[in-house]
Amino acid sequence: MGFTMGLNLLLLLAMVATNILSLYHLSAPTLQSPKPPAPLQVPDHLLHQLQAIRATINHLTRHQPSPSTTSQSKPTIPSDLLLYSQLSPIASSCHNHPDLLHKYMSYTPYSLCPLDSDLAESLILRGCHPLPRRRCFSKTPSKPPSSLPRNPFPSSFIDSNVIWAQYSCKSFSCLAKQSPNTGFDMSAEISRFMTYKTELDLPIPQLLQVAKSASSLIRLGIDIGGGTGTFAARMKQYNVTVITTTMNFNAPNNEVAAIRGLVPLHVPLQQRLPVFDGVVDLVRCGHAINRWIPLKMMEFLFYDVDRVLRGGGYFWLDHFFSKKVDLDKIYGPLIGKLGYKKVKWAVGNKTDSSGLKNGEVYLTALLQKPVSR
């Protein structure tokens, strides 16, 4: 009894700390600008505190007495979760969301899995990745694609190639109407990465020309947060292989990339890129990488990008957005620490309503990693 109460208190404490931390992130940089520009990040002591709390919780959850000795109110742990945890470690962040994890691992082995890709994605976005494996069959769409994707910009997609249960839209026409410019309207996608309207654009022919004139070959790339894979689709036509990391966010991004014949990696931003050191020539970050990403996480992300890039490879920040003052004081210096050559560095006002309200700017930068370290 006392044990459970103690655990609950700890969980409460952890929740409060986590919320303080996220509030801190949302308000951090500019609130402090009148003061000297010293601690613009989450203070280390707060991070340490949070880590200590998490470690304690993990310790406690791992050493809980067996169900027979605790109070009857304790939720039963799904048997397949128990079994799996004996085979393979479960990410520490999974332990912070026992409710979601238990729900995810409550299923009938050897039968159809529950239709819960949204639950899986919720866990992944909370850092519970990789997810535990399950012994069930995931449902397949009524019709698999029946032809080779010769054209990655088809005039339409076939609704029955996708399971729509988890999405608010139930068809491609709904998606294209409800959320334009999110990668489902191929008549818009076809001109992306090929036109130069402002200084913030870097058309692919120009990118390849830059690389060629530096005698730097681009064969293989990663597009981080690449939606339905349009960058990969375009690069494929230049015989460059690009893999796309993409989450679903209430739309079938992964499925559509696959239908287009492109490799979708269902990997969140906080995950180490699943390739070896120095094996890719190009990493592109679209505007999924922006000021809403906690600064520390962004820093780890950038250094992981550096890890996977070969010497002389390119890091392309495409329409990264932040407040102008933060670009000068925080993100600019952070990018500078990588020690890359600035091949392109263009900053422009973000002129949509939230951009105007928050004084945001876009940065498009093409950076080249030093040839050797």
Ligand X SMILES: *[C@@H]1O[C@H](CO)[C@@H](O)[C@H](O)[C@H]1NC(C)=O
Q: Which is nearer to ligand X, 21 or 347 (CB)?
A: 347
- Interacting positions 233-272 with ligand X (CB under 6 A): 238-239
Minimum gap (Å) between residue 238 Cβ and ligand X: 5
Best CA proximity match to 309, nearest among 344, 273, 335: 273
Minimum gap (Å) between residue 240 Cβ and ligand X: 9
Q: How many residues bind ligand X (CB under 6 A)?
A: 3
Q: Which is nearer to ligand X, 97 or 236 (CB)?
A: 236
Secondary structure element (H or E) that encloses residue 366, with its range: strand 360-368
Best CA proximity match to 27, nearest among 42, 49, 11: 42
- Interacting positions 303-362 with ligand X (CB under 6 A): 349
- Interacting positions 77-116 with ligand X (CB under 6 A): none
Q: Is 181 in the site for ligand X (CB under 6 A)?
A: no
How many CB atoms are closer than 10 A to CB 328?
A: 13
- Interacting positions 6-35 with ligand X (CB under 6 A): none
Whether 202 contacts 233, CB under 8 Å: no
Distance CA 145, CA 180 (A): 24
DSSP 273: P
Q: Which is nearer to ligand X, 131 or 207 (CB)?
A: 207
Residues near 43 by beta carbon (within 8 Å), at least 6 away in sequence: none
Residue 315 falls in which region: left (phi positive, over 0), alpha (psi -120 to 50) or beta: beta
Minimum gap (Å) between residue 355 Cβ and ligand X: 9
Minimum gap (Å) between residue 360 Cβ and ligand X: 10
Minimum gap (Å) between residue 361 Cβ and ligand X: 7
Q: Which residue has the tokens 């349009």?
A: 230
Q: Which residues bind ligand X (CB under 6 A)?
A: 238-239, 349
